[in-house]
């Protein structure tokens, strides 16, 4: 996996990267002794099993088996090729890479698109702040957007005209097909050629978690339709897996342990301008599991802000749709928890904040200030309570038909609540408005819940697309082989003594066999440095799990001696088998070398017996071979 980078260079980058700081950009980590723990970003879990060891510079999830170093974390997190992860971490660590190295073909296409988007961003930004951007600047001034905030968010201006960007890119030898792949130009309806997708629009760059522009949202400044025009999905950009301003907000999310989600670009800008820097925008879509997973990595609480007008109610209805059918919840991999939040196989609180009539976040902040917005956030309700209140408000409770419909909707909502305490409180609240018995309502909800579970039993929840398995091929390794590799990785003396006598075929497990091969290739390197020599996620996860085991090796010299004898016996047995087979063949063919082979066989048998007798005679006061006084490092022969 080193891909042309020298081991010393990779080790220098690795040594300079703070793993807690790096992983902490994506995972809400908490200290656990000398390690840090959090919910795994690579699979669905309720209890944190994701561990970062800062001294060794590695991570490992005891739930899904993912593991590795800073390079492999960034590769999995941002779906990067190894060379690209090296470049990003080298830039982060201030390490200069050899200038002659060219991008690999595997990552060259994506990198070329990113460079293209960066160049387009520069063009649009210069257009906004140049002489031709006065119309867009006046618009921003009229909307109260501070120039410093506009620059922080990288706003730009797409000049009016058909080919301004196209002409600029041609001057930099950028192919039209590449611009089309990036979603920046469109093919002409008649004739050949392309034209700019964004024309006469204020542009909002959409960036990934690393702050790289992957798409644009463009707002018309006049009566043009559509009002907002967004980039299409591209190899860099998938709308439901991205959040606007996440790169700017994730630090504040971790500090405040809260994420605020609004609907519009300007809503998000104004929230940041007024101090709510934990705010992101959902890019005009309902929350997707991928977006909620992004937020969960940085905060324990999410507040979704909705307008009080019809659009806000419609957006809130999208959340109700997520709680509408058991099959829908299974397909999304989310459910509603006892505190009213969405969860992924566990608890994740989501609240709903509704703004005053006639206001969105932008207008509320400009008209009434930060305190008015803060009060709405503080008054946010759990999504279950909100959805139930919506269900009751939308039905005519004065009519028997309306009460029956509301009764059924409330029972369905309550059937999603696993916690009796929360369900009881909600049932009492609904029962008062419906004029029914709370106990009976709760019983009906339980019956619905059991029916839903029975209907879905045996079906796997697809949820978010699963990452490839990280376990190495084949069955789990034996304890003896795992202990051996842990000893070789952790004790330099054991490496020098044992590696010459151990062959790859002595290790049955393919993942451990690959670790042994890598270790043999770099016996003097730190064990963590082997990550760059491993090709698969499974191998890196296996190495990380071994390195996280804080082993003690009592009677180290005795264990090394026992293992040396064990593998010496194996070698001699192998040689005995080969010589025996040669003797049989020599007898059949009348080979004149038969006496020499018989002599060698006898010698090997005597030597093997001597070694075996030594292995069965422990030193006085020592435990039997393979059974040291302390179990943690024990290896049975």
Q: Is the dihedral of CA 356, 361, 363, 366 positive or negative?
A: positive
Q: Residue 244 and residue 207: Cα distance in Å, rounded? A: 7
Q: Residue 266 and residue 505: Cα distance in Å, rounded? A: 63
Q: Residue 134 and residue 102: Cα distance in Å, rounded? A: 41
Confidence band for 512, pLDDT divided at 50, 70 and 90: confident
Q: What is the pLDDT of residue 633?
A: 42
Q: Residue 494 and residue 519: Cα distance in Å, rounded? A: 12
Please give the mean pLDDT across all residues of the chain: 79
- In tens, the pLDDT along 433-475 reads 888 888 888 888 877 777 766 654 443 333 333 333 344 444 6
Residues 6+ apart with CB under 8 A from 244: 204, 206, 217, 265, 268, 280, 281, 282, 283
CATH 3.90.1170.40 fits 239-466, yes or no: no
Q: What is the pLDDT of residue 194?
A: 95
- In tens, the pLDDT along 142-166 reads 999 999 999 999 999 999 999 999 9
Q: 273, exposed or middle or buried, with CB in 10 Å at 0-12, 13-18, 19+?
A: buried
Alpha helices in 153-201 (DSSP H): 164-170, 176-181
Helix (H) or strand (E) holding 512: helix 510-521
Q: Kindly calculate the radius of gyration of the chain based on its CA atoms and give it in whole angstroms.
A: 32
- In tens, the pLDDT along 573-606 reads 777 777 677 777 767 777 777 777 778 777 767 7
15-29, 325-339, 367-381, 555-569, range with the lowest pLDDT: 325-339
Q: Residue 363 and residue 141: Cα distance in Å, rounded? A: 14
Q: Are strands 50-53 and 58-61 parallel, antiparallel or unpaired?
A: antiparallel
Tokens of 298: 């940085």
Closest CA to 71 of 544, 634, 411, 608: 544
CATH 3.40.50.620 fits 7-93, yes or no: no
Domain residue spans in the chain? Answer: 7-93, 108-237, 239-466, 479-633
Q: Residue 89 and residue 25: Cα distance in Å, rounded? A: 14
SS3 state at 398: coil
Residue 58 pairs in a beta bridge with 53
- In tens, the pLDDT along 166-193 reads 999 999 999 999 999 999 999 998 888 9
**Is the CB of residue 367 less than 8 Å from the CB of residue 358?**
no
Q: Residue 28 and residue 240: Cα distance in Å, rounded? A: 22
Q: Is the dihedral of CA 334, 281, 249, 306 positive or negative?
A: negative
Domains 7-93 and 108-237 share a fold: no
Residues 6+ apart with CB under 8 A from 420: none
With a cut of 90, say whether residue 121 has pLDDT above it. Answer: yes
Find where tokens 């916690």 sit.
419
Angle at 33 between CA 41 and CA 26, to 5 degrees: 20
Q: What is the pLDDT of residue 562?
A: 81
Average pLDDT, integer, range 290-296: 75
Residue 183 pairs in a beta bridge with none
Confidence band for 51, pLDDT divided at 50, 70 and 90: very high
How many Å separate Cα 577 from the centre of its chain?
50
Confidence band for 99, pLDDT divided at 50, 70 and 90: low
Q: Residue 106 and residue 109: Cα distance in Å, rounded? A: 7
Q: Residue 253 and residue 36: Cα distance in Å, rounded? A: 18
Confidence band for 420, pLDDT divided at 50, 70 and 90: low
Domain 479-633 CATH class label:
mainly alpha
Residue 258 pairs in a beta bridge with 301
Single pTM value for the model: 0.60
Q: 93, exposed or middle or buried, with CB in 10 Å at 0-12, 13-18, 19+?
A: middle
**SS3 labels along 1-34:** CCCCCCHHHHHHHHHHCCHHHHHHCCCCCEEECC
Q: Residue 459 and residue 614: Cα distance in Å, rounded? A: 57
Q: What is the pLDDT of residue 460?
A: 35
Residues 6+ apart with CB under 8 A from 7: 522, 525, 529, 532
Confidence band for 312, pLDDT divided at 50, 70 and 90: very low
Q: 454, exposed or middle or buried, with CB in 10 Å at 0-12, 13-18, 19+?
A: exposed
Write the CATH number of the domain with boundaries 108-237.
3.90.980.10
14-23, 256-265, 303-312, range with the lowest pLDDT: 303-312
């Amino acid at each position: 996996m080193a891909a042309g980078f020298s081991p010393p260079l990779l080790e220098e980058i690795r040594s300079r990267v703070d793993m807690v700081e790096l992983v902490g950009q994506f995972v809400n980590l908490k200290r656990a002794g000398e390690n840090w723990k959090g919910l795994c970003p690579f699979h669905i879990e309720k209890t944190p099993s994701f561990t970062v060891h800062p001294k060794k510079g590695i991570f490992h999830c005891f739930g899904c088996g993912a593991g590795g170093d800073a390079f492999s974390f960034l590769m999995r997190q941002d779906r990067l090729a190894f060379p690209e992860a090296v470049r990003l971490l080298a830039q982060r660590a201030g390490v200069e890479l050899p200038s002659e190295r060219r991008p690999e073909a595997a990552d060259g296409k994506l990198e070329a698109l990113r460079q293209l988007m960066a160049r387009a961003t520069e063009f649009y930004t210069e257009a906004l702040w140049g002489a031709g951007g006065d119309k867009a600047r006046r618009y921003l001034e009229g909307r109260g957007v501070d120039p410093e905030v506009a620059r922080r968010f990288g706003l730009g201006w797409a000049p009016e005209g058909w080919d301004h960007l196209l002409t600029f890119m041609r001057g930099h030898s950028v192919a039209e097909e590449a611009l089309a792949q990036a979603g920046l130009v469109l093919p002409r309806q008649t004739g050949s050629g392309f034209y700019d997708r964004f024309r006469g629009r204020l542009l909002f760059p959409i960036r990934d978690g690393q702050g790289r522009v992957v798409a644009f949202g463009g707002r018309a400044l006049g009566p043009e339709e559509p009002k907002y025009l967004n980039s299409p999905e591209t190899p860099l950009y998938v709308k439901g897996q991205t959040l606007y301003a996440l790169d700017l907000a994730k630090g504040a999310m971790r500090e405040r342990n809260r994420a605020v989600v609004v609907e519009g670009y300007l809503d998000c800008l104004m929230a940041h301008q007024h101090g709510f820097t934990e705010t992101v925008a959902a890019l005009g879509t309902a929350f997707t599991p991928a977006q909620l997973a992004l937020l969960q990595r940085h905060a324990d609480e999410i507040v979704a802000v909705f307008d009080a007008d019809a659009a806000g109610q419609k957006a809130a209805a999208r959340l109700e749709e997520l709680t509408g059918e058991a099959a829908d919840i299974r397909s999304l991999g989310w459910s509603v928890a006892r505190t009213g939040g969405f969860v992924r196989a566990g608890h994740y609180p989501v609240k709903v904040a509704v703004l005053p009539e006639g206001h969105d976040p932008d207008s509320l902040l400009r008209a009434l200030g930060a305190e008015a917005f803060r009060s709405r956030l503080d008054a946010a309700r759990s999504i279950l309570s909100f959805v139930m209140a919506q269900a009751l408000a939308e039905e005519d409770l004065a009519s028997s038909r309306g009460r029956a419909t509301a009764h059924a909707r409330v029972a369905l909502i309550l059937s999603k609540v696993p916690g009796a305490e929360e369900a009881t409180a909600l049932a009492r609240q609904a029962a008062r408005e419906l004029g029914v018995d709370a106990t009976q309502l709760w019983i009906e909800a339980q019956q619905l819940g059991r029916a839903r579970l029975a209907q879905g039993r045996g079906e796997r929840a697809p949820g978010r697309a699963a990452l490839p398995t990280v376990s190495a091929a084949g069955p789990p390794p034996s304890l003896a082989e795992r202990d051996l590799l842990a000893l070789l990785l952790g004790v330099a003396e054991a490496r020098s003594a044992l590696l010459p006598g151990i062959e790859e075929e002595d290790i049955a497990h393919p993942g451990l066999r690959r670790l042994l091969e890598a270790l043999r290739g770099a016996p003097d390197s730190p064990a963590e440095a082997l990550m760059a020599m491993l090709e698969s996620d499974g191998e890196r996860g296996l190495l990380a799990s071994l390195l996280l085991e804080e082993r003690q090796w009592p009677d180290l010299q005795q264990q090394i001696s026992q293992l040396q004898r064990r593998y010496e016996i194996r070698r001699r047995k192998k040689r005995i088998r080969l010589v025996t087979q040669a003797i049989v063949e020599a007898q059949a063919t009348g080979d004149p070398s038969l006496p020499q082979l018989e002599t060698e066989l006898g010698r090997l048998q005597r030597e093997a017996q001597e070694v075996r007798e030594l292995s069965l005679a422990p030193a006085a006061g020592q435990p039997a071979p393979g059974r040291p006084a302390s179990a943690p490092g024990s290896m049975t022969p």
